[in-house]
Structure 1
């Protein structure tokens, strides 16, 4: 999308073709504008992995709290 716009296609046309509002387009352009497609895909994969690790950490911390509560009540 960004390359289409940089090639001269009006932003409104790019947004219409891809079903975006201009604000979303510019947000994506700011985030991914200087990246190649492979770099953007790698960033997305790392963000997904980071989210998964954060969920695992939260689950582990919750389990620790539950175990401490159980041990403290006995």
Structure 2
């Protein structure tokens, strides 16, 4: 994953400058970023402070980790289910074959 070019505090400082009245094109030129990045940050982090922003990122990371754990558990359950159905089929087939003799 690509490392962040701007820290949380830098993003907050840029958003504060915009709130103070700086124009978006001037901010983008000054900080070497695209206007799309600015608007994405404003939509995501507008109205937050640095501690809230950090907490949100921690929660996003935890959510990503939990989703990965869920997917792994689901895959394991599917493998077990498939193996059990194969065992049951084999037992049924062996019983049917031995009853016919």
> Please, what TM-score do these two structures have when normalized by structure 2?
0.65
Structure 1: any 5+ residue segments left out of the alignment? Answer: none
Question: What count of residue pairs does the alignment treat as equivalent?
Answer: 74
CA distance in structure 2 between the partners assigned to 1:64 and 1:55 by the alignment: 14
Deviant stretches of 4+, over 3 Å: 16-19
Cα distance, 1:23 vs. partner? 1.6
Instruction: Tell me whether 1:6 sits opposite 2:6 in the alignment.
Output: no
Measured against aligned partners, the alpha-carbon deviations of 1:24-67 in whole angstroms (never above 9, x if no partner) come to: 21121011111011101101110110111011001100110011
**Which protein has the larger Cα radius of gyration, Structure 1 or Structure 2?**
2
Q: Which has the higher contact order (CA 8 A, sep 6+)?
A: 2
* RMSD between superposed Cα atoms in Å: 1.5
